[in-house]
Amino acid sequence: MSLFEIKNVSKSFGDLKVLNDITVSVDKGEVVAIIGPSGSGKSTLLRCATMLETMDSGELIYHGEKAAANDAEGKAVYASNAELRKIKSYFGLVFQQFNLFPHYDVLKNLCDAPIHVQKRNKTEVVKEAMALIAKMGLEGKEHYYPQQLSGGQQQRVAIARALCMNPDILFFDEPTSALDPELTGEILKVIRQLAQEHMTMVIVTHEMAFARDVADRVIFMDGGYIVEEGRPEDVITNPTEERTKRFLARFAENG
Amino acid sequence: MSLITVMQQIASGFGATLLIFFCTLLFSMPLGVIVALGRMSKFKPLSLVIQGIISVLRGTPLMLQLIVVFYGPYYAFGIKLSTNWRLYATLIGFSINYAAYFAEIFRAGIQSIPVGQTEAATVLGYTKVQTFLKIIFPQMIKRTIPPVTNEVITLVKDTSLSFVLAYQEMFTYAKQVSAAMSSLMPLFVAGVFYYIFNLVVTIVMDRIEKALSYYN
């Protein structure tokens, strides 16, 4: 059984169809990279997967539990709030813009949701958060406020915040797009380490070299469709589809 | 009448001014939050009704609103008004009027907070109420301190409008003394009282702003 499945999802914004019957499933321990040009629908797919956006039609399943399924007319219907809350605890999301809480220090950014949403023991959560802060190379920063940190440090806090919820799968929405190349390296290093620890991850990214190195599978999207999907050495190094070749060629040109 | 006597007379109304000031803040601020949330409701009829009420409250004189609140129950329903009604009508009039202004300030404050804050909270599993109380509300308060300070300063001066209901606050006394003495001096003294009151208000609001500046 797949850890995460999204089946036949379609989504339109007004007249614009951004997702066309997309199906993706991710197994435990797998790292999937989603690449593609701007407006290809990759971020919308991630937002549908994390329920920030509602699907027009399609199924969304975590651990075999249905967060949404089609009704008789083929419209996606979501589960009850109580069920969705449980399902939400299975995944975490790291945003392009970090979205840390500016009025909370680093430690509270990590601990608040585990304590007040998951109702876990405070001492335990703080201990775990401190370990995550250390793991992210942010020792001594636990009482800093987000704006006192660099972009790379903020994104590492955001990753730690997501991990502190003990998710089974972690989604990344262009986690390095708001960072300069030097800071990008910091974040990629952290994600690479998580991959080595067999964290299940879905990463929307423009970092082709990184996708090739880290991902078990690469999905190339364009115009709301999955154009090509497979092992990174196939999709990125030897794409078969014309559209993928053109997209990757532009990347090669621009370095 | 000596200056000291005049000051004593006017100061005797200061307690009533303070009462109006604090009660108005106490009632209008929470009411403003509720009205702001209603104004932002996705349920269009509610949002539109509230928008209309805010429009009237901001578009007509506060003095007129005080008169309507005070005499309304008698003219509309023939209710005989108790002696305390003078104060209650003043407080109701001020609280509703200021709630309308605060509501618009709070709405702007809430809407200025990046949508990413709500999204991050949603993904972390916070309920809507938790998201508002823990994430949005504290950030909204910080952002709205400068416009709220403006309103609070205006309120200090607006309390003088309750003379129209002959509620015995500072300005009512000042006018009476001024008329009795045929002199403007008591009104100047009242002006100094209001000014000092506002200096204190400004200092307090400044402190609050500084206390909240531990983050950007």
Whole-number percent of chain B with pLDDT over 90: 71
Q: To which residue do tokens 């709205």 refer?
A: B144
**B124 and A99 in contact by Cβ < 8 A?**
no
Residue bearing the bigger pLDDT, A246 or B100: B100
Whole-number percent of chain B with pLDDT over 70: 100
pLDDT of residue B22: 96
Does any CB of chain B come closer than 8 Å to the CB of residue A145?
Answer: yes
CATH number for the domain running over B3-215: 1.10.3720.10
Across A139-158, average pLDDT: 95
pLDDT of residue A254: 61
For A46, name the nearest residue in chain B, comparing CA atoms only.
B123
Question: pTM (2 decimals)?
Answer: 0.89
Question: How close does chain A come to B126, measured CA to CA in Å?
Answer: 6
**Tens digit of each residue's pLDDT (9 = 90 or more) over B90-138:** 999 999 999 999 999 999 999 999 999 999 999 999 999 999 999 999 9
Token pair in block for residue A135? 């793991």
Q: Which value does ipTM take for this structure?
A: 0.92
Q: Which of B116, B121, B214 sits opposite A97 (nearest CB)?
A: B116
Cβ contacts of B121 on chain A, cutoff 8 Å: 101
Give the residue from A51, A91, A103, A108 with the most B CB atoms within 10 Å of its CB, the best one to mutate: A103
Cβ contacts of A147 on chain B, cutoff 8 Å: 215-216
pLDDT of residue B13: 86
Domain ranges within chain B, ordered by starting residue: 3-215
**A52 and B126 in contact by Cβ < 8 A?**
no
- What span, in angstroms and rounded, lies between the C-alpha atoms of B12 and B14? 5
The pLDDT mean for chain A works out to 93
Does any CB of chain B come closer than 8 Å to the CB of residue A89?
Answer: yes
pLDDT of A178 strictly over 70: yes
**Tens digit of each residue's pLDDT (9 = 90 or more) over B4-49:** 888 888 888 899 999 999 999 999 999 999 999 999 999 999 999 9
Q: Calculate the alpha carbon distances from B72 to A126, B65, B93 in Å.
A: 58, 10, 11
Q: Are strands A57-62 and A91-94 parallel, antiparallel or unpaired?
A: unpaired
| Phi, psi for A114 (deg, rounded to 5) | -55, -35
Does any CB of chain A come closer than 8 Å to the CB of residue B128?
Answer: no
The burial class, CB within 10 Å (0-12 / 13-18 / 19+), for A95 is buried
pLDDT band at A255 (very low <50, low <70, confident <90, very high): low
- Contact (Cβ atoms closer than 8 angstroms) between residue A55 and residue A68: yes
pLDDT of residue B76: 82
Token pair in block for residue A78? 């979501």
Which residue type does B45 have? Answer: P
Specify the range with the lowest mean pLDDT, choosing from A33-47, A113-127, A155-169, B79-93: B79-93
pLDDT band at B168 (very low <50, low <70, confident <90, very high): confident
For A96, name the nearest residue in chain B, comparing CA atoms only.
B116
**Tens digit of each residue's pLDDT (9 = 90 or more) over A51-68:** 999 999 999 999 999 999
Left (φ > 0), alpha (ψ -120 to 50) or beta: where does B166 sit? left
- What span, in angstroms and rounded, lies between the C-alpha atoms of B201 and B212? 17
**A101 and B117 in contact by Cβ < 8 A?**
yes
pLDDT of residue B3: 84
| HSE toward the beta carbon, residue A52, CA cutoff 13 A | 23
